[in-house]
């Protein structure tokens, strides 16, 4: 895991490297180390369409300079290694058809204590896609670090590792004792990618043969098969690791909402805009790379594992990195993509086996168009915003005020000119900022009496008279309000020294002043430019808010027509009517079908109403439904009854039979029946739920003559929502589609009655087997919390009945998404409450969704929640859960 010598600042992510052999193979439940399973190893031989396009068999008397260039430097490989690389025949030579790379003690007074060789094919043999293969015998000893790897020829995506690195084979300290007393015998295959150092990422797999054979004892074959979007690692033709490009999940509006697979990513500057962006594509592994062979001594990785440091006795003429050959094959099935010649085995595309989860960040969920409020500072600063001084060189601070508690303090030292306030713009963040740039979409609030408001106290006025101003910007310095005087607020007052005053600005006024409400990212409060010297002032309770209600819903018909959704006969020429039915239903919509084939229902398009209002159900896609009641008063024969819904002027639609509903029943004569269709099922059937404009219920086309039927209580809504995205996963019993769950301990959690306040609760008992426990969703059931990222939380109550036998056990919370594709894991003390459980007491724990998102969780497909004593330390624990929910505050 090294990079070219010109990169002086590359480090090794030591903790990740040391942890590879511990954490590899861990899946959703706490897992164990990966090991070879001989009974499933049945590799196919490479197919005949692999064609060798380059090779070096090392059968000449000297190293072929047409193939290889020696690096000559003492840069330490970028990893604080202990060797100088030379082109000396003492460090690299061919003997008996074998390339030998040898690390030797350097002469006294040398820059570094060892010499060795690093050879590369750059500009002599560069490759994009193929099978890269080496047969070699590795050196051993503490501090030894041989490698066969690849680097990008032209670094088209930027400096390391933005343009990528492919480590085909590496080993460290072979033959040296491990912690368990066995001899080190692992090899590693790794990718490096992502952001520039020190925020770089890597992912890979450690592997050892089931026989326990040591790579230093004999020759073995190491290879990758690299194709567009995928790289696979082999040892002796056993596929032990696969890595792939990330796969983004999109909603019906083609907006990124999560990751279907978390793989590699990169970050580079867009050629048109010049903006640094994150990409979840085949990049950076879609350009030419060159081959590298080297034998390093020591460095940040080998010196910090096994026996530590460097064993000088391990380096001499007899401890060699011996390479029999290096070969490169090209897949003739598809030269452009490298696909069609895969050597695979069962399980290679499973996260529990060969497929590796990468380190790609989860895409920030798009605005869902749902009205929500934003607190920028209310005693605590929003995690995604900073208090900011544009140009004055000060650092705004949070201090205690006698009247308001914690408030943000701003100071202006001179009249050179500055503006101050709050920002969520990425370019304003420092290196230590852990939040995310999160422009706020306030546009849904403008029709809900939306305002921007704050409280302010001037502690010390500017040395000269000035006008106090508000300025709000959107879109990285794009549309803004310009300078708006504070005395034009609803309160109409100028600041008074020593007094707290409230300032309120309607969003409609700010919009009229030029602000794009959909992407607010900077709010500034300041004395006019170059007039603020000496000013000190405090700000608190700054918020953008309106009269936000619950989850969006549409009532199409109940007792009367919705004027934006009139009753409609597509093609039969009839006029649907409103009729009086029984006491329970009152006025209902009645439809009659004559001799002409037709479909009927409700429509919201410009040709049918003066006020069309297509409904955007994106925010309730996970749990939302279309539901109606129906009574047939005259049957049309044996016709199948259909339900069809269209969107965006029939750009998309879904059509199902009524028996495909949740209820699964056909209409019965003169009986009111309820029909429910899940929005997620309709979306899977092809419907874009973001612009629903037609709902139809009808007998199959051409078979409906004589039918008369009535509809009532037609609506689109989220039946689980009591407030915006309030998903209760357990309250007296698990929610539909969820179950109490013991991953690995073999117990069956039970429902137990507790105190009056909690009633029936979920009880878990941890036995001798290591396990994690909690709530698990069945296939197809999940919570999409992307719409409440800014103000959502995961919240639950816990009571420890009996603590674990191990008094040092740490209580943990883990939450997973999309079958453990992403997760976040924190101790319960990492909650908002910050307390460990107390035996015999109910305690509430709250984790902000933003915290979980920042920790790597894809919040759009949450399907497992776990609360448990740390893996392997929970024996004897008995505890209860209640009121488990994912909700907006």
Q: Burial level of 703, CB count in 10 A (0-12/13-18/19+)?
A: middle
DSSP 507: H
Query: Are 24 and 355 a contacting pair, CB within 8 Å?
Result: no
CA dihedral 818, 820, 823, 829 (to 10 degrees): 120
Provide the CA 804 distance to its chain's centre, in angstroms.
Answer: 33
The residue from 71, 81, 133, 170 that is catalytic is: 170
**Gyration radius from the chain CA atoms:** 33
- ∠ CA(42), CA(48), CA(51), 5° rounding? 120
Q: Determine the straight-line distance between the first and last CA of the chain, rounded to whole angstroms.
A: 45
Kindly state the tokens that stand for 450: 């939306």
Provide the CA 390 distance to its chain's centre, in angstroms.
Answer: 31
Q: Compute the distance between CA of residue 221 and CA of residue 169 in angstroms, rounded to an integer.
A: 10
The residue from 81, 165, 303, 473 that is catalytic is: 165
State how far the alpha carbon of 485 is from the alpha carbons of 470, 510, 816, in Å.
Answer: 6, 12, 48
Active-site residue, 170 included:
yes
Q: Cβ neighbours of residue 751 under 8 Å, at least 6 residues apart?
A: 733, 740, 760, 761, 762, 763
Q: Compute the distance between CA of residue 65 and CA of residue 752 in angstroms, rounded to an integer.
A: 76
Q: Cβ neighbours of residue 599 under 8 Å, at least 6 residues apart?
A: 570, 571, 642, 644, 696, 698, 701
Active-site residue, 752 included:
no
Q: Compute the distance between CA of residue 204 and CA of residue 222 in angstroms, rounded to an integer.
A: 15
Query: Are 648 and 728 a contacting pair, CB within 8 Å?
Result: no
Query: Are 810 and 867 a contacting pair, CB within 8 Å?
Result: no
* 444 preceded by a cis bond (ω within 30 of 0): no
Q: Compute the distance between CA of residue 180 and CA of residue 182 in angstroms, rounded to an integer.
A: 6
Q: Compute the distance between CA of residue 792 and CA of residue 436 in angstroms, rounded to an integer.
A: 15
Q: Cβ neighbours of residue 108 under 8 Å, at least 6 residues apart?
A: none
Q: Which residues are catalytic?
A: 165, 170
């Amino acid at each position: 895991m090294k990079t070219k010598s010109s990169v002086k600042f590359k480090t090794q992510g030591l903790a990740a490297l040391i942890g590879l052999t511990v954490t590899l193979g861990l899946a959703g439940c706490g897992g164990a180390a990966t090991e070879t399973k001989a009974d499933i190893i049945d590799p196919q031989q490479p197919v005949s369409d692999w064609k060798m396009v380059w090779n070096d068999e090392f059968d000449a008397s000297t190293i072929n300079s047409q193939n290889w260039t020696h690096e000559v430097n003492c840069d330490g490989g970028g990893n604080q290694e202990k060797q100088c690389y030379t082109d000396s025949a003492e460090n690299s030579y061919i003997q008996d058809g074998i390339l030998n790379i040898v690390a030797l003690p350097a002469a006294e007074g040398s820059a570094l204590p060892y010499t060795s060789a690093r050879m590369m094919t750059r500009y002599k043999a560069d490759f994009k896609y193929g099978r890269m293969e080496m047969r070699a015998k590795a050196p051993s000893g503490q501090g030894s670090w041989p490698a066969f790897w690849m680097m990008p020829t032209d670094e088209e995506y930027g400096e390391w590792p933005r343009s990528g690195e492919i480590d085909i084979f590496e080993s460290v300290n072979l033959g040296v004792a491990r912690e368990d007393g066995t001899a080190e015998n692992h090899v590693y295959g790794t990718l490096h990618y992502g952001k520039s150092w020190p925020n770089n990422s890597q992912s890979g797999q450690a592997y050892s043969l089931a026989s326990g054979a040591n790579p230093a004892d004999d020759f073995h074959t190491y290879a990758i098969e690299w194709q567009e979007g995928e790289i696979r690692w082999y040892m002796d033709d056993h596929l032990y690791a696969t890595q792939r490009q990330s796969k983004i999940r999109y909603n019906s509006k083609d907006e990124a909402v999560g990751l279907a697979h978390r793989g590699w990513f990169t970050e580079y500057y867009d050629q048109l805009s010049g903006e640094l962006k994150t990409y979840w594509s085949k990049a950076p592994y879609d350009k030419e790379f060159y081959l590298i062979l080297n034998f390093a001594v020591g460095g940040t990785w080998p010196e910090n594992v096994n026996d530590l440091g460097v064993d000088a006795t391990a380096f001499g003429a007899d401890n060699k990195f011996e390479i029999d050959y290096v070969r490169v094959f090209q897949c003739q099935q598809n030269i452009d993509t490298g696909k069609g010649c895969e050597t695979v085995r069962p399980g290679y595309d499973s996260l529990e086996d060969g497929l590796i989860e990468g380190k790609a960040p989860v895409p920030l969920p798009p605005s869902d168009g749902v009205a929500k409020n934003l607190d920028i500072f209310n005693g605590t600063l929003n995690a995604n915003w900073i208090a900011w001084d544009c140009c004055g060189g000060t650092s705004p601070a949070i201090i205690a005020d006698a009247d308001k508690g914690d408030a943000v303090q701003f100071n202006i030292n001179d009249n050179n000119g500055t503006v101050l306030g709050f920002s969520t713009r990425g370019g304003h963040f420092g290196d230590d900022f852990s939040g995310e740039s999160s422009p706020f979409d306030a546009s849904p609030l403008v029709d809900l009496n939306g305002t921007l408001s704050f409280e302010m106290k001037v502690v010390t006025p500017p040395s000269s008279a000035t006008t106090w101003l508000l300025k709000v910007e959107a879109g990285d310095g794009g549309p803004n309000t310009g300078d708006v005087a504070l005395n034009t607020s609803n309160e109409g007052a100028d600041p008074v020294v020593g007094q707290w005053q409230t300032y309120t600005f309607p969003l409609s006024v700010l919009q009229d002043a030029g602000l794009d409400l959909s992407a607010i990212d900077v709010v500034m409060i300041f004395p006019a430019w170059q007039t603020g010297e000496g000013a000190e002032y405090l700000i608190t309770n700054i918020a953008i808010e309106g009269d936000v209600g619950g989850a969006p819903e549409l009532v199409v018909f109940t007792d009367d027509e919705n004027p934006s959704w009139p009753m409609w006969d597509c093609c039969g020429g009839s006029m649907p009517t409103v009729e009086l039915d029984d006491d329970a239903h009152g006025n209902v919509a009645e439809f009659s079908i004559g001799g002409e084939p037709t479909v009927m229902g409700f429509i919201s398009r410009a040709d049918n109403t003066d006020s069309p209002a297509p409904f955007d159900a994106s925010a309730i896609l996970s749990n939302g439904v279309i539901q109606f009641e129906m009574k047939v008063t005259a049957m049309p024969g044996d016709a199948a009854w259909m339900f069809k819904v269209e969107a965006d002027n029939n750009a998309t639609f879904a059509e199902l039979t009524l028996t495909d509903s949740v209820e699964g029943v056909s209409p019965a004569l003169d009986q009111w029946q309820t029909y429910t269709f899940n929005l997620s099922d309709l979306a899977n059937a092809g419907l874009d739920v973001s612009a629903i404009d037609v709902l139809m219920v009808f007998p199959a086309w051409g078979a409906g003559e004589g039918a008369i039927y009535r509809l009532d209580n037609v609506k689109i809504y989220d039946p689980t929502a009591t407030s915006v995205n309030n998903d209760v996963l357990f309250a007296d019993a698990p929610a539909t589609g969820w179950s109490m769950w013991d991953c690995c301990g073999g117990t069956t959690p039970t429902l137990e009655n507790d105190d009056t306040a909690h009633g029936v609760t979920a009880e878990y008992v941890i036995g001798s087997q290591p396990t994690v426990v909690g709530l698990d969703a069945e296939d197809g059931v999940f919570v999409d919390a992307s719409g409440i990222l800014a103000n959502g939380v995961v919240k639950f109550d816990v009571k420890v009945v009996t603590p674990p036998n191990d008094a040092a056990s740490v209580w943990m919370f883990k939450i997973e998404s999309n079958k453990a594709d992403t997760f976040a894991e924190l101790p319960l003390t990492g909650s908002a409450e910050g307390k460990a459980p107390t035996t015999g007491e109910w305690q509430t724990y709250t984790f902000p969704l933003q915290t979980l998102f920042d920790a790597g969780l894809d919040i759009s497909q949450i399907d497992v929640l776990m609360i448990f004593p740390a893996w392997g330390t929970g024996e004897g624990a008995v505890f209860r859960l209640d009121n488990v929910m994912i909700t907006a505050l």
